[in-house]
């Protein structure tokens, strides 16, 4: 069963987060405007603005009046911690539940993960 894609404004926010994690956007660097993002994603500027607002509300971006949004100094660390928490608490839990449902042993699951991680 495939997971549904999140709304486009969430995808835009995640894309910006990826830009920060990957070093494409550094601390104190200006972020794309909602109009630039609207053009990149071919969406309404209000939708793009909503993606930016999410990051602003999470204190990942800050506003310079008349200049736009900029990357908060600790944004990369905050994003990494948020994603670690999400994956550790939600994704792995779902994985273990499904593995049990499929009668995959703990050791088999660990071996699969090690193989995928490059240790097996």
CA angle at residue 82 from 111 to 22, to 5 degrees?
80
Helix/strand/coil for 26: coil
Higher pLDDT, 1 or 32: 32
Q: How many domains does the chain have?
A: 2
Q: What pLDDT, on the 0 to 100 scale, is given for residue 41? A: 97
* Same domain (yes/no): 89, 40: no
* Same domain (yes/no): 80, 60: no
118 has pLDDT over 90: no
* Same domain (yes/no): 46, 97: no
| Inside any domain, residue 43 | yes
pTM: 0.77
End-to-end CA distance of the chain: 28
30-52: pLDDT as tens digits:
999 999 999 999 999 999 999 99
56-98: pLDDT as tens digits:
999 999 999 999 999 999 999 999 999 999 888 888 899 999 9
Q: What pLDDT, on the 0 to 100 scale, is given for residue 1? A: 52
């Amino acid at each position: 069963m495939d997971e549904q894609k999140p709304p486009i404004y969430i995808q835009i926010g995640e894309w910006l987060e990826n830009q920060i994690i990957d070093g494409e956007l550094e601390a104190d660097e200006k972020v794309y405007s909602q109009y630039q993002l609207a053009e990149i994603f071919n969406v309404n500027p209000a939708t793009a603005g909503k993606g930016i607002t999410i990051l602003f509300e999470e204190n990942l971006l800050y506003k310079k009046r008349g200049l736009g949004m900029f990357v908060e100094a600790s944004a990369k660390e905050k994003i990494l911690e948020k994603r670690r928490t999400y994956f550790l608490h939600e994704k792995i839990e779902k994985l273990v539940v499904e593995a049990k449902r499929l009668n995959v042993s703990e050791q088999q699951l660990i071996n699969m993960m090690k193989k995928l991680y490059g240790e097996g």
